[in-house]
Amino acid sequence: MGDSNTVKIGQDVIVLAGADRNVISRSTITGLITNSDGTPSNIETDSLLNYSAEPLIALNGDVVGIKTRREGVNPADFLPINSLADMLKAL
């Protein structure tokens, strides 16, 4: 698992999609929506894939985001992996 606080606009990433993760797409981070502390709350990409639970992978192999179905969020956007880790710790 990577650190989504290190992602940058313009960074190339990989998206794995499809039921068997048999679709691989190169994408670019096009925007970051940040919390008041500057950490990302949403990672925007130019990905045209629209599956749920797609991992967003930095070119070094670290998972930095995950696609989720969230109300009012663009289908090309990803939940930062640090946010997911925080949610899981709170359970």
Q: CA 13: distance to chain centroid?
A: 9
* Position 91 pLDDT exceeds 80: yes
Q: What pLDDT does residue 75 have?
A: 64
Q: What pLDDT does residue 1 have?
A: 86
* Position 20 pLDDT exceeds 90: no
For residue 50, the enclosing domain spans 4-89
The Cα–Cα gap between 91 and 75 comes to 26
CB 14 within 8 A of CB 27: yes
**Residue 22 maps to which CATH number?**
2.40.10.10
The H-assigned helical ranges of the chain are 81-89
CB atoms within 10 A of CB 66: 18
Give 52's contacts (C-beta < 8 A, 6+ positions apart): 67, 68, 69
- Model pLDDT for residues 37-84, shown as the tens digit of each residue: 989 989 999 987 776 778 999 999 999 999 877 666 666 689 999 998
Q: What is the number of domains present in the chain?
A: 1
